Structure 1
Amino acid sequence: MIKIKNAFVWDNGHFFKKDLYVKNGIFVDDCKKCDYEIDLEGKYILPGFSDSHAHVLGVGLSKLMLNLNNKNFQDEIFSSSEEIILGRGWTEISDKYLFDSITRPVILIRICGHVAYLNKYAQKILGFNDYFIYENDLEKIWKLLPEEYYIKAFKTGEYEFISKGITSVHSDDLHGITFETLLKLLNDSKLRIYEKLYTETPWNYEFNKEYGISKIFGIKLFADGSLGGKTAFLSRPYKNSKNYGTYILPESFESILDFAEKNNVQVCVHAIGDEAISRLIELFGRFNNHRIIHAQLIKEKDFEKLKNFKFSVQPHFYFEDQEILKNIDTSGLMLYPFKRMFEEGYLISFSSDGPVSPVDPKYIISSALKLGFSFVDSIKLYTEYSGNMINEKIGLLKPNYKADFIVFKDKNLEKLEAVFINGEKVYDALTLNP
């Protein structure tokens, strides 16, 4: 039993000086005899942030790859000595022949994660005959890398989330690694991970089983791609083209949904374009207690039909996508209607979609404030509402909830000092040692 004393504790937008008690990783009412005490000396405690849709492995991979966010990234590629040159973050590659002189595979992932560039050498070893590949074809890339690389990437991603005050993530990591390796990583993780398996054959796996402090709870599927990659599925073509995007929900969706319903498994579908969402509503039918990830463009006539779904949304995408939206006929569509969803009682929760965007709660919350959310509601939507999505007791500093919390030096919440997960300190900013 642990007593946490002398701290100011967040409760619905206010800080109150009170003690917290932890037993076996859970907050409890009180303790008559504590094993030891933690004196926080007037510091401020928030519930740990919970990212309801991100990619722990992907965030780690992006840290190990070349960063292609700068316009002169080609200089780094030509100077790289890696056997496989991997990078992520570009928005446009104007000269697709530029890297053909490199006699090693050059594989560059677009910032959205839905498009990849391959030089001629990479095309040859992967069996493609095009410089750009899309959506499911990217899975072939991950088979090139050794398992040790993924293990390192996962640990790197885990630390990146924890160091930002994120104590749990609804993640999507079955890409490149074996299921057995994923289970080991989940079991060893200090970050609380709620894993949704990217699979079209969920009956081959076991769900709702705990691995350490983590758990596999759901299935991840794609209905379409990204707006930036022009693969989000729209009801009207992208401007100056005949391209409507791509619709990639598997033909076995009905069987997957039937399995999920029988086994109490949540189906989480990536859907950005308005037409993808329309079709998804029809396919879900009366089973509407599942989750839609993103939901950036919605037809007005579809809005009420979405009332009983759950949503992982990214308020920052509204601002990041302004240039991209110039390529789309948005007349008659609801754009990023997250505030209206919240006001009308839809169950939404905030997420970063890292590594597409920074996994920094301050970044996401600042965007939410610009969309009209209050600060208090933004905290709720990045903590307890993430737990509500999957009926997990996280995100509140109350008895019977998991003891995941973060400590700030002052009331302004500017300086993160420590992160506790399951009642254990896993990050201390003063020592920079997870």
Structure 2
Amino acid sequence: MKLLKSSQIFDGEKFVEGYSILINNGVVEALVSKDEEPFVTKIAEITDFGESIIIPGFIDTHTHMLNYGINQETSVEKFETLEETLEFIEKFVSQNDLPFYIFNDFDESKWKVATPPTKAELDKISEKPIFLRRICGHMGVANTPFIKLLSQRIDLKQTQYDPETGIFLEEVPLKIHSLFQYSEDFQEKALLKAQDIFIKNGITMIHEIGSYRELRLLQKLHRENKLKIRVRFYISDSSPYNFEFNGIERGFGDPLLKFQGLKYFADGSVGGESALFTFPYGRKNSQGIWLLREGVEEEFRKAMELGLQVAIHAIGNLAIKRVLDIIEEVGSGENFRIEHFEFPDDEDIERAKNLRVKISIQPNFVYNWGQEKGMYESKLGPFYLKNNPFRKLIQTGLEFAFGSDAMPPSPIIGIKGATLHPKEEERLNKEDALIYYTKQGALLTQEAGLFGEIKAGAAADFTVVDPNLEEVKATIINGETLSCG
């Protein structure tokens, strides 16, 4: 047995003092009071975290761990200008002999001149195939050699592609790692590297969205005892689910790795100006893009028959409205999730609640782009203030939880975003924000009481944080300390 001590515990609902946590075989045996502690210390191994706080392990309800790992070598997020970005790409290409080069995470909204790169600019730095994907994943730009290579794999006429600028929207950037795959060995190393980063950020469970290839890789790591973080897996519609051949039911797996459901896209992103709104916006002065294909309702019905969760990406208010229309038509709203749900109209918040739809929200988006004078305001004007109405969702009784979309995979930054909403009346305090990054995450996969709480019978998954909730000190999964700062 193990006994964990600290100044305070957050049990999933509230902060409590005067208790320690007794663990037995990876499960919480009991919360032990100060009076009971002398009896327990005789039989338990003691770890004292001092003034730190023990909370339930963070549950990230929307992320892409494999892609995050792949992107680590070629991310350009840190650069503040197009010139710095191009300089990095040119140097990397000159030093690495690869058949193609995919760079990730440019965010022109953070540059001094907020203009996306073009094909001509990439052509100037190299004759090798280069693709540069925006941080949102919904937009990218290719140079001429890459476009030629891409045309050998797909019909460019079937894509949202501007030949003049080399800019692609939606299908190509979203599927770029499927169209141009790295070796399994490279992907395994990337996944393990990302797993370490996620765990160091205090994340003990993820709702991972990816391809069949990634699911097979996760199964391999599980067999080899290399998988440490808990995974609930969703197959992306960029890797279509064959209901006749792959008729796997929800929950297939074990407490470490489970198959959960399917993921679809209804619209794009605000930064890529492809999120679907009821009004025109941005440089293009368009409403955005609708991505759900005709007849998808039948796929949803088949998914319902298997008990699969269907997660649908919807950011703009019109996309949210149309997705709710489809859910009403299909029925079984409790098996649906809406991912992001960033700009819902008031009546659609109520509709989602009545339909019992679950929601995964990314508060780090508020931190990154939702502040005054941020990217959302530059694209949407005053409407940006309607982004991520946390308090309104709580008051309505909508069931939601927090995730990161790996931008970045840091619940600490997400908590900051939740507490710094540009509308004061929508801000959460840190205690409420913790609930939606722990206990509520387990509700989204119908695992309440098993994860996301510190109580008898729950998994011994914990994150140890400093008293100000600004730094992760340790991460514990199944009773084992995997990261200790």
Asked if TM exceeds 0.5, the reply is yes
How far apart in 2 are the matches of 1:366 and 1:240?
30
Deviations 1:305-330 (A, max 9, x none): 11121111122323514333433376
Q: Residue 112 of structure 1 aligns with which residue?
A: 136
Q: CA deviation at 1:414?
A: 4.5
Q: Please say if 1:349 is aligned against 2:401.
A: yes
How far apart in 2 are the matches of 1:256 and 1:149?
33
**1:77 alignment partner, one of 89, 92, 105:** 89
**1:389 alignment partner, one of 439, 444, 449:** 444
Amino acid of the structure 1 residue aligned with 2:45? E
Distance change (3 Å), C-alpha of 1:93 and 1:370? closer
How far apart in 2 are the matches of 1:375 and 1:68?
27
**1:377 alignment partner, one of 428, 432, 453:** 432
How far apart in 2 are the matches of 1:332 and 1:155?
37
| Deviates further, 229-238 or 111-120 | 229-238
CA RMSD of aligned residues (A): 2.6
Q: Residue 99 of structure 1 aligns with which residue?
A: 122
How far apart in 2 are the matches of 1:332 and 1:405?
35
Q: How does 1:86-235 map to 2 (within 5 A)?
A: 86-90=102-106, 91=108, 92-101=115-124, 102-127=126-151, 128=156, 130=163, 131-138=166-173, 139-144=175-180, 145-174=182-211, 177=213, 179-185=215-221, 188-199=226-237, 200-201=240-241, 203=243, 204-206=246-248, 207-211=250-254, 213-235=256-278
Q: Please say if 1:312 is aligned against 2:360.
A: yes
Amino acid of the structure 2 residue aligned with 1:87? F
Does structure 2 conserve the Cα–Cα contact (< 8 Å) formed by 1:107 and 1:118? yes
| Deviates further, 27-36 or 232-241 | 27-36
**1:57 alignment partner, one of 66, 69, 87:** 66
How far apart in 2 are the matches of 1:312 and 1:7?
31
SS in 1 for 2:63: coil
Amino acid of the structure 1 residue aligned with 2:63? A
How far apart in 1 are the matches of 2:323 and 2:102?
34
How far apart in 1 are the matches of 2:332 and 2:306?
13
**2:390 alignment partner, one of 338, 341, 348:** 338
Deviations 1:21-64 (A, max 9, x none): 32332212389999751332635311111111111112212212
Q: Residue 47 of structure 2 aligns with which residue?
A: 39
How far apart in 1 are the matches of 2:142 and 2:310?
32
Distance change (3 Å), C-alpha of 1:277 and 1:202? farther
Query: Percent identity over the alignment?
Result: 27
How far apart in 1 are the matches of 2:408 and 2:256?
25
Does structure 2 conserve the Cα–Cα contact (< 8 Å) formed by 1:126 and 1:140? no
Q: Residue 362 of structure 1 aligns with which residue?
A: 412
Q: How does 1:231-246 map to 2 (within 5 A)?
A: 231-239=274-282, 241=284, 243-246=286-289
Deviations 1:219-260 (A, max 9, x none): 111111101111111222225646322111133422222122
Unaligned 5+ segments in structure 1 are 430-434
Q: Residue 398 of structure 1 aligns with which residue?
A: 455
Amino acid of the structure 2 residue aligned with 1:21? L
Q: Please say if 1:28 is aligned against 2:29.
A: yes
How far apart in 2 are the matches of 1:41 and 1:93?
47
Q: CA deviation at 1:292?
A: 0.6
Amino acid of the structure 1 residue aligned with 2:397? G
Does structure 2 conserve the Cα–Cα contact (< 8 Å) formed by 1:186 and 1:193? no
**2:378 alignment partner, one of 326, 329, 338:** 326
How far apart in 2 are the matches of 1:179 and 1:39?
35
Q: Residue 432 of structure 1 aligns with which residue?
A: none
Q: Residue 483 of structure 2 aligns with which residue?
A: 427
Q: CA deviation at 1:126?
A: 1.1
Q: CA deviation at 1:405?
A: 0.5
Distance change (3 Å), C-alpha of 1:53 and 1:186? farther
SS in 2 for 1:284: helix
Does structure 1 conserve the Cα–Cα contact (< 8 Å) formed by 2:340 and 2:361? yes
| Deviates further, 22-31 or 281-290 | 22-31
Q: Please say if 1:418 is aligned against 2:434.
A: no
Amino acid of the structure 2 residue aligned with 1:67? V
Q: CA deviation at 1:333?
A: 9.3
SS in 1 for 2:149: helix
Q: Please say if 1:67 is aligned against 2:76.
A: yes
How far apart in 2 are the matches of 1:178 and 1:335?
32
Distance change (3 Å), C-alpha of 1:107 and 1:151? same
Q: CA deviation at 1:194?
A: 1.2
Distance change (3 Å), C-alpha of 1:239 and 1:198? closer
How far apart in 1 are the matches of 2:400 and 2:288?
26
SS in 1 for 2:20: strand
Count of residue pairs brought into register by the alignment: 425
Amino acid of the structure 2 residue aligned with 1:180? R
Amino acid of the structure 1 residue aligned with 2:442? G
Q: Residue 424 of structure 2 aligns with which residue?
A: none
**2:347 alignment partner, one of 281, 295, 301:** 301
Q: CA deviation at 1:118?
A: 0.9
How far apart in 1 are the matches of 2:55 and 2:14?
10
Amino acid of the structure 2 residue aligned with 1:381? Y
Amino acid of the structure 2 residue aligned with 1:158? Q
Distance change (3 Å), C-alpha of 1:56 and 1:324? same
Normalised to the residue count of structure 2, the TM-score between the two structures is: 0.80
Unaligned 5+ segments in structure 2 are 33-38, 109-114, 422-426
Q: CA deviation at 1:291?
A: 0.8
Q: CA deviation at 1:277?
A: 1.1
How far apart in 2 are the matches of 1:216 and 1:3?
33
Distance change (3 Å), C-alpha of 1:5 and 1:202? farther
How far apart in 2 are the matches of 1:270 and 1:259?
19
How far apart in 2 are the matches of 1:22 and 1:378?
26
